[in-house]
Structure 1
Amino acid sequence: MHLRVPARFGKAAAVVTAAVVLAGCTGATPVARRLDPPLPLSTVQDAGNRDGTSAPVADPIYPAYGNPALDVLHYGLALTWSAQDRKLTGTATIRLRAVSAVQQVRLDFSPAYTLGDISVDGTRAAGRLDGGDLVVDRALPAGAVATLVVGYQGTPATVPMPSHRGDVEPLGLTVTAGGELWTMQEPYGASTWYPSNDQPSDKALYDIAVTVPDGWAGVASGTPDGVDGDTYRYKATTPVASYLTTLAVGRYTRTEVQGPRGLPVVLWTRTGVDDQHLEALRRAPEYLSWLERRFGPYPFPSAGVVVVPSRSAMETQQMVTIGGDVLSDDNAAAGVLLHEFAHQWFGDAVGPATWQDVWLNEGWATYTEALFRADGDPAYMDRWERSARAADADLRKRLGPPGHPTPDAFAESNVYVCPALMLHQLHKDLGDARFFALGRAWSAAHTGTALDRAAFVAFVKAQTGHDYSALINAWLDSPTTPA
C-alpha cells in the first residue's frame, strides 16, 4: 500500500513524503553500481509451498479475524455479478486442512449475504452466519483435509478501515453508483466477497471465475486463465494472502505490454475514463526492469495494473490496484507504481505472518521507492535521510515505534519511514553488492511464505555473516530515533 500523508502528520512527515513522492528520477542509480543480469523467465522458481500449505498463527493486532486452527490450501471462487439488482452470487469451493482438532469449521464471512447450499466432502452440512463468521457444524480431527463448498448471494457491504490516514476508505468489495465493483482490503476485507481465513499468515492458491454483464470485464488477482463468453478466469499458482486478492468488474479496456524477459503485463483502464493515464501505466515494464536488476526476477508468471475509483493504491498480487486519483499526478504516479511493484517482492512473494510486522512490507517498498527517486542524483539519499530522520522523530512520538503498531492506526507513516531508515543503515554498512544480494535472497528463498521479525533477523545474520539484531531491534522498538 502506498502512503499519502495528510497535513495532520506534521511538517517533518510531509517533508520526507514529499521528497519520496515528488523528486525526479533519471538514469541508472548511483547506489547500485554492480548489478546481476536478470535471469531468463523460464528459470524463475517459487521457493514456497506449491500446494498452499501455510502455518497460520493468531494475529495479535486484529484477533477477531482469522482462524489459526485452519489452513486454507485452495479457494475456488465462481462469482456472478448482476449490476442491475446489485447482487453477487457465489460458490466458494475451499480446500482446507485442520491444523488442530476443531468442532466447527469457522471462517470470516460478511453477514451481508444469504447462505445457500453448504457441503463438506460432498455431504450436506448445516451452516450459519455468526456476526462476521461463517460457522459450519462439522468436526475435523487434527491433520484432516476437507473440501467445503458454500453457496451464497447478496449485496456486498464494506467495513471501516482502522486508520487515521488521509486516504482512508472503507475496506472490501465496493459497489459504485453505476453498479461496478472494486476492492482494496488491507488489513482485512476479503471476507466481504468470499468466505476466507482473513489473516496474513494463511496463504492459499486460487482459481477465480467471474461472470459479468454483457460488454463488461472482470479483473482479478492471479494469472489470466482465459475468457469464456462473459466469464473471466484467473489462476494463482503461488500462494496468496487473502488481503492481496482483488476483484474489479466494470467497463474496462485491456492493454497488454511486455515486461522484462517477455513477462506479460496487462493494464486494465476504465473505458473512456482513464485514457489520459495509459501512458503512465505503459511505463510498468520500465519499473519492473529496474526492480529486477536490483532484487532478482519478478516472482510471478504475470503482472498487471487495474484502475479503480479510489484515492489509494494497493499491491494486490500480480494485479496492482490503483486509484485514478493517484494517477492524475504523473510524477507521483511513477513513485506509487514503483512502490506497489516493489511490494511484489516485499510483501507479496514473502509477507508478514501477523500485522505486528507490517513494517516488513512497507519498509522495503518505501526504501526501494527512495532508491528509485535517487536515480541520477548522487546527493538525493543524503537529503532523503535528513528529512526521514526529522519525520521519524515526530512519528515515533505520536504513533510509536514501527515494530509495535496499534489496532486503530493501521499502516500509518511510522511503519513506512522508520523501517526504511533501518534498511538504509543496513545498506550503508553492507555496501551495494551485499545489500542487494540480501534483498534478492530474502524474496527468492521465501516466496509463498509469511514470516516474522525473528525470521528476518536470523536471515540477515545468516546471509551477511554478521549479527545485526541490535541495529534492527533498535530501529523497530525505540521510542526515539536511534543514533
Structure 2
Amino acid sequence: MNRPILYVALVPALLITGCTAEPSRVPQSAATVPATGPAAASPTPAEDAYAAWQAGRSTPVADPIYPKRGTDALDVLHYDLALDWSPSKRVLTGTATLQVRPTKDAESFSLDFEPYDIDSLTVDGASATGEVTKEKLTVATPVTADKPFTLVVAYHGKPKTVPMPSKRGDTHPLGLTVDKDGGLWTMQEPYGALTWYPANDQPSDEALYDIAVTVPKGWSGIASGTPKGQDGNTFRYQSTDPVASYLTTLAVGKYKKVTAKGPHGLPLTYWYRPTDKRALPVLKKSPKYLTWLEKKFGPYPFPSGGVVMVDSDSGMETQQMVTLGSAVFSFGADQFELDVVHEYAHQWFGDAVTPTNWQDLWLNEGWAQYAQLVYEKETAHLTNADFDAWFRQADAALRKKYGPPGHPRPSEFAMSNVYICGAAMLRQLQSTIGDKKFFALAHAWAQDHRNTQQTRKSFTAFVNEQTGKDFTAFIDAWLDSRTTPPKSLKDRKGTNQT
C-alpha cells in the first residue's frame, strides 16, 4: 500500500507507500517453513463436488486487530460476482455466488456486507432467510463443518463507504467510492470489500474469483484478476490464484486502455483517464520495474499484471491490477515511479505471500518498502553509509511516534513504522548475513510460500532455517522494541521492549 507521509525534519522527503507508506525518500549521497495458508489435506467426499475450487481453500483465523471483520467459521473457496453499475442512478446491482466451506457446525452463518437491499437469497438452491444488520449478512441456515455449500445473494443499492481506522493524511473512507462523474473505484485495506459484495473480509481467508462487470456503452469495467475478454458491455476477469478480499479491486469509468508485454511475455494493461496522461510514461516502464524485481525475488507470481488509475490520494497493491491514485503524481514523476515499484513489489510480498492477520502488516509492508528503497538506492547510486544512517535515524523517530512495527495500533492502521521499521530490520539482516545470502533468502521466501498466508512465527523459523543461525532474538528486538535495536544484538541492554 502506498500512502505518503512527510518527515521533513529527518530527510528532504520521507515517503512511504496504501499500500505505500507515507512518501519516504532515502537521503541523497553526500559524496522452508510449512505453510499456514491453504490446507493440504485431501478433500472429504462431501467436498468432491467443490474440487474445482480447492485452490481457494484456506485456514481462516480471527483477526486480533480488527476482530469484528471476518470470521474463522467460514472458508470461502470461490466468489462469482456479476455486477451491473448505473452511473445515472448511482445504483449497483449484483449477484454474488459463493462456494463456502464451514469450519464449524453452526445454526446460522454470517459474512461482512453493507446494507444493500436483498432481492433473493438461496443456499444450495433453496430459498433462505438473510438479514443485513451492523454490516453483517446473517443467514438463518444450519451448516456443518467441512460440508461445503453454495450461497447465492442477489442485491442492489447505492454504495456506501466505511471509515478508515487511521490518522494518515492521505487516507479516505474505505470501500466502493462513487466519483463526481458517476464512476466507481475502491481501496479497501484493511477491509472494505463488504461495500460491494458479501465477503469474509479479512486476510486469512483467500479465495478464487470470477468477476463480470456490466457498464453503459462507452464506459469500462476493471477488476482484479486476469482479463478474460468483453461481451458487449460486460467485462470479465478471473483469478485462478487465491486472493484476499482486501486485494480485490473494482473501477468503472470512461477509461482508455494500453496493453504491453512484461518479462517472459507477461500481459500488462494500463487503464487511465484523459486526466491521467502524465502518468503514462511511468506506467509504460512497468516491464523494466518487473524485470528488476524478478532479478531480486524470482518470477512474477501471476499470469497478468497492470495498473488502473483512480481519484485517490494513495495506492494499493490489488492483485494483478494495481490501483493507483492520480494525486500520488503530485509528488512528482520520480516519487510516482517509486510508488509503482512499491505496489509491484507487493505482488510478491502481500499478494502471493499474504499475512495471516493484521498484526503482521510489517511482513508485507516491510518487504515492499525495502524493495522500493533498494531500487532507489541503486538508481540514485547512494552509498551504504548514507543508506544505513538514514534507516537508523528514520527508525528511531518512527518508533518514538508510533511504537514498534510488530504491535500496530488498531486506530492507526498502516502508519510509517510498519513500513520503515520493518524495512530497517531487513536492511540490518542483509548487513549481517551478506548480500548474496540475503537475496537468496528473499527469493526463497517469496517463491517457496507462494499462495499461502504467513506469520511472524513462520518467518522467524524460515530465517533460522535458511541461515543456519538463530535470529529469533534479532527479529523480536526489531519488531518489539520501542527504541532502535543496536547494530549488534550482543549488547541489548539499551533495547526497551514492550
How far has the Cα of 1:194 moved from its partner?
0.3
Q: How does 1:333-372 map to 2 (within 5 A)?
A: 333-372=336-375
User: In structure 2, the residue corresponding to 1:345 is in which secondary structure?
Assistant: coil
How far has the Cα of 1:380 moved from its partner?
3.5
Matched, 1:11 2:17: no
Separation in 2, partners of 1:274, 1:200: 31
The residue number in structure 1 matching 2:294 is 292
User: In structure 1, the residue corresponding to 2:229 is in which secondary structure?
Assistant: strand
C-alpha contact 2:355 2:361 (8 A) present in aligned 1: yes
The residue number in structure 2 matching 1:282 is 284
Separation in 2, partners of 1:327, 1:247: 21
The residue number in structure 1 matching 2:305 is 303
Separation in 2, partners of 1:244, 1:377: 31
Give the TM-score, by structure 1 length: 0.92
The residue number in structure 1 matching 2:333 is 330
C-alpha contact 2:213 2:234 (8 A) present in aligned 1: yes
Deviates more, 1:216-225 or 1:11-20: 11-20
Separation in 2, partners of 1:13, 1:400: 20
Separation in 2, partners of 1:464, 1:246: 38
C-alpha contact 2:28 2:382 (8 A) present in aligned 1: no
The residue number in structure 1 matching 2:89 is 85
The residue number in structure 1 matching 2:114 is 110
User: In structure 2, the residue corresponding to 1:273 is in which secondary structure?
Assistant: helix
Matched, 1:72 2:76: yes
Separation in 1, partners of 2:286, 2:471: 34
The residue number in structure 1 matching 2:129 is 126
- Taking a change above 3 Å as real, the CA distance of residues 266 and 473 of structure 1, as seen in their structure-2 partners, is same
Q: 2:105 aligns with which of 101, 109, 124?
A: 101
Q: Which blocks of at least 5 consecutive residues in structure 2 are unaligned?
A: 17-22, 30-36, 41-53, 487-498
Separation in 2, partners of 1:258, 1:288: 11
- Taking a change above 3 Å as real, the CA distance of residues 13 and 453 of structure 1, as seen in their structure-2 partners, is farther
Matched, 1:452 2:455: yes
- Taking a change above 3 Å as real, the CA distance of residues 178 and 426 of structure 1, as seen in their structure-2 partners, is same
Q: How does 1:64-463 map to 2 (within 5 A)?
A: 64-111=68-115, 113-270=116-273, 272-328=274-330, 329-376=332-379, 379-463=382-466
Q: What is the identity, as a one-letter code, of the residue corresponding to 2:71?
A: N
Separation in 1, partners of 2:382, 2:188: 37
User: In structure 1, the residue corresponding to 2:105 is in which secondary structure?
Assistant: coil
Q: 1:51 aligns with which of 33, 49, 55?
A: 55
Matched, 1:471 2:474: yes
How far has the Cα of 1:191 moved from its partner?
0.3
C-alpha contact 1:119 1:125 (8 A) present in aligned 2: yes
The residue number in structure 1 matching 2:34 is none
Deviates more, 1:322-331 or 1:185-194: 322-331
Separation in 2, partners of 1:417, 1:228: 45
How far has the Cα of 1:449 moved from its partner?
1.3
Separation in 2, partners of 1:225, 1:23: 44
User: In structure 1, the residue corresponding to 2:89 is in which secondary structure?
Assistant: coil
Separation in 1, partners of 2:278, 2:26: 20
How far has the Cα of 1:463 moved from its partner?
1.8
How far has the Cα of 1:218 moved from its partner?
0.4
Deviates more, 1:377-386 or 1:398-407: 377-386
User: In structure 1, the residue corresponding to 2:378 is in which secondary structure?
Assistant: coil
Separation in 1, partners of 2:459, 2:194: 29
Deviates more, 1:466-475 or 1:12-21: 12-21
Deviates more, 1:435-444 or 1:14-23: 14-23
Name the Cα RMSD after superposition: 1.9
Q: What is the identity, as a one-letter code, of the residue corresponding to 1:54?
A: S
C-alpha contact 1:210 1:231 (8 A) present in aligned 2: yes
Separation in 2, partners of 1:256, 1:15: 33
C-alpha contact 2:12 2:25 (8 A) present in aligned 1: no
Separation in 1, partners of 2:28, 2:319: 27
C-alpha contact 1:268 1:306 (8 A) present in aligned 2: yes
User: In structure 2, the residue corresponding to 1:11 is in which secondary structure?
Assistant: coil
Q: What is the identity, as a one-letter code, of the residue corresponding to 2:481?
A: S
C-alpha contact 2:39 2:57 (8 A) present in aligned 1: no
Separation in 1, partners of 2:224, 2:241: 11
C-alpha contact 2:80 2:209 (8 A) present in aligned 1: yes
C-alpha contact 2:8 2:14 (8 A) present in aligned 1: no
Structure 1 stretches (4+) deviating beyond 4 angstroms?
13-16, 22-25, 46-50
Q: What is the identity, as a one-letter code, of the residue corresponding to 1:279?
A: P
Q: Which blocks of at least 5 consecutive residues in structure 1 are unaligned?
A: 26-45
Q: What is the identity, as a one-letter code, of the residue corresponding to 1:297?
A: P
C-alpha contact 1:72 1:204 (8 A) present in aligned 2: yes
How far has the Cα of 1:119 moved from its partner?
0.4
Give the TM-score, by structure 2 length: 0.89
Q: What is the identity, as a one-letter code, of the residue corresponding to 1:325?
A: A
- Taking a change above 3 Å as real, the CA distance of residues 392 and 21 of structure 1, as seen in their structure-2 partners, is closer
User: In structure 1, the residue corresponding to 2:56 is in which secondary structure?
Assistant: coil
C-alpha contact 1:197 1:242 (8 A) present in aligned 2: yes
User: In structure 1, the residue corresponding to 2:434 is in which secondary structure?
Assistant: helix
Separation in 2, partners of 1:367, 1:356: 19
1:296-323 Cα deviation digits (max 9, x unpaired): 0000000010000111000000000001
Residue identity over aligned pairs, in percent, reads 53
The residue number in structure 2 matching 1:2 is 2
The residue number in structure 1 matching 2:46 is none
Separation in 2, partners of 1:322, 1:236: 20
C-alpha contact 2:460 2:475 (8 A) present in aligned 1: yes
Separation in 1, partners of 2:188, 2:407: 21
